[in-house]
A and B are shown apart, each in its own frame.
Chain A
Amino acid sequence: MILAWLIIIMMIGGLLAWLAGKWNVLMCRWIALITLIIDFIIIIAIWVSNPGNIEISQKPEWLIEFTTSWIPQFGIDFHLALDGLNLILVSLTIFLGIISVITSWTEITEHAGFFHFNILWILAGITGVFLSLDLFLFYFFWEVMLIPMYFLIGIWGHENRVYAAFKFLIFTQASGLLMFLSILALYFIHGKATGVYTFDYLQLLGTSLSTSESFILMCGFLIAFLVKLPAVPFHPWLPDAHTEAPTAGSVILAGLLLKTGAYGILRYALPLFPQSAIAVSPYAMVFGAIGILYGAKLAFAQTDFKRLVAYTSVSHMGFILLGTFAGNALALQGVVVQMLAHGISTGALFVIAGSIQERIHTRDMTQMGGLWQEVPGMAGAGLLFSLASLGLPGLGNFVAEFLILAGSYQVSIGLTIFAASGLIASTLYSLMIMQKVFYGKKKKVWNIKDLGVREMIMMGAMIVVIVWLGVFPQTFLNTARSSVNNILQHFTSRNTKVETGSVDKNNLFQKINFINMIDEKRSNSMILTGHEKIILRREH
Chain B
Amino acid sequence: MTSIEFQSLIPLVTIAAASIIIMLSIAVKRSHLFVNLFSLVSLGLAFLSLFFVPDTTPVMIAPLIILDKFSFFFIGLIFAASFFIILFSFNYFKQQEGDKEEYYILLLIATFGSSLLAASINFMSFFISLEIVSVSLYTLISYLRTKKNALEASVKYLILATTSAAFLLFGMALVYAGLGTMRFNDFAVRIAAPDTHVELAIAGFSMMIIGVGFKLGVVPFHLWTPDVYQGASAPVTGFIASVSKGGMFALLLRLFISIDVYQYQALVHTFTIISAASMLIGNLLAIRQNNVKRILAYSSISHLGYVLVAFLAAGSMAVQASVFYFVAYFISTLGAFGVITLLSVKEHDAEDIEDYRGLFWSHPVVAAVFTAMLFSLAGIPLTVGFIGNYYLLAAGVNSSLWFLVVTMVVSSVIGLYYYLRIVTVMYSLAKETNEKLRRRTFTFGGGIALTVLTSLLIWYGLFPKGILLVIKSIAGI
Residues of A that sit less than 8 Å from B by CB = 70-74, 110-111, 136, 140, 143-144, 147, 150-151, 154-155, 162, 165-166, 169-170, 173-174, 177-178, 180-181, 184-185, 187-188
Contact = CB atoms under 8 A, between A and B. Distances in A.
Interface of B (DSSP majority class) = helix
Interface in B422-477: 424, 427-429, 463-465, 468-469, 472
A150 B424 CA distance: 10
20 contacts: A71-B387, A71-B468, A73-B465, A73-B468, A140-B381, A140-B386, A143-B380, A144-B382, A147-B380, A169-B416, A169-B420, A170-B416, A173-B413, A177-B412, A180-B390, A180-B393, A181-B397, A184-B393, A185-B397, A188-B394
Interface in B209-263: none
B405 interface: yes
Given A71-B464, A143-B380, 7 more contacts: A74-B394, A154-B424, A155-B427, A165-B424, A170-B417, A173-B413, A177-B412
A174 B428 CA distance: 24
Contacts of B162: none
Interface of A (DSSP majority class) = helix
Interface in B374-424: 375, 380-382, 386-387, 390, 393-394, 397-398, 405-406, 409-410, 412-413, 416-417, 420, 424
A248 B423 CA distance: 22
Nearest to A146: B380
B361 A144 contact: no
B430 to A, nearest CB: 12
A151 B412 contact: no
Contacts of B361: 111
B417 A73 contact: no
A154 B413 contact: no
Interface residues of B, number: 31
Which of A166, A177, A185 has most B Cβ within 10 Å?
A177
Nearest to B391: A74
A147 B419 CA distance: 12
A208 to B, nearest CB: 18
Contacts of A166: 417, 420, 424
A144 B338 CA distance: 26
Given A144-B381, A177-B409, A155 B397 contact: no
A433 to B, nearest CB: 31
Contacts of A185: 397
A143 B427 CA distance: 20
A71 B386 contact: no
A508 B416 CA distance: 49
Contacts of A178: 409
Nearest to A136: B390
Contacts of A165: 424
Contact of B465 (A72, A150, A170, A173): A72
Interface in B192-208: none
A184 B397 contact: yes
A173 to B, nearest CB: 6
Interface string B334-375: 000000000000000000000000000100000000000001
Contacts of B386: 140, 143
Contacts of A73: 465, 468-469, 472
Given A110-B429, A140-B381, A181 B417 contact: no
